[in-house]
Structure 1
Amino acid sequence: MVDGDVVVDKLRHVNQYTDDLKRMRGMSKEEYLADMVTQRAVERTFMNLIQSCIDLAQHIRSAEALTPSGTSKKEIEALGNAGILSDETQAKMEEAVGFRNVLAHRYGDVNHDVVYDVLHEDLRWFGRFQTEVARWFKQQRS
Structure 2
Amino acid sequence: MLDHERILAKIDELEGYQRELLQIAPASFDEYQNIEKKRACERLLQISIETVIDVCHLLVKGLRLGLPAEEDDLFEKLAGAGIISQSMKDKTKRMKGFRNILVDRYGHIDDRIVYEMATERLGDFEAFKREVLEALSEGYARIGGGESEKR
- For normalisation by structure 1, the TM-score amounts to 0.92
Closer/same/farther in 2, CA of residues 102 and 129 from structure 1, 3 Å limit: same
Q: Write the mapping of 1:22-37 to structure 2, written as runs, cut at 5 A.
A: 22-33=22-33, 35-37=34-36
Gaps of 5+ in 2: 140-149
Q: Please, which moves more after superposition, 51-60 or 66-75?
A: 66-75
Percent identity over the alignment is 28
Which residue matches 1:102? 101
Which residue matches 1:40? 39
**TM-superposition CA deviations, 1:5-59 (whole Å, max 9, x none):** 11110110111111211222243101212x1111111111111101111011001
Aligned-partner SS, 1:57:
helix
Aligned-partner SS, 1:69:
coil
Distance 1:80 1:18 in 2: 24
Larger strand proportion of the pair = 2
Structure index of larger Rg: 2
Which residue matches 1:61? 60
Which residue matches 1:14? 14
Larger helix proportion of the pair = 1
Kindly report the root-mean-square deviation, in angstroms, between the aligned alpha carbons of the 2 structures.
1.5
Which residue matches 2:72? 73
Preserved CA contact (<8 Å) 2:26 2:32:
no
TM-superposed CA distance for 1:107, in Å, is: 5.5
Distance 1:14 1:70 in 2: 25
Gaps of 5+ in 1: none
TM-superposed CA distance for 1:68, in Å, is: 5.7
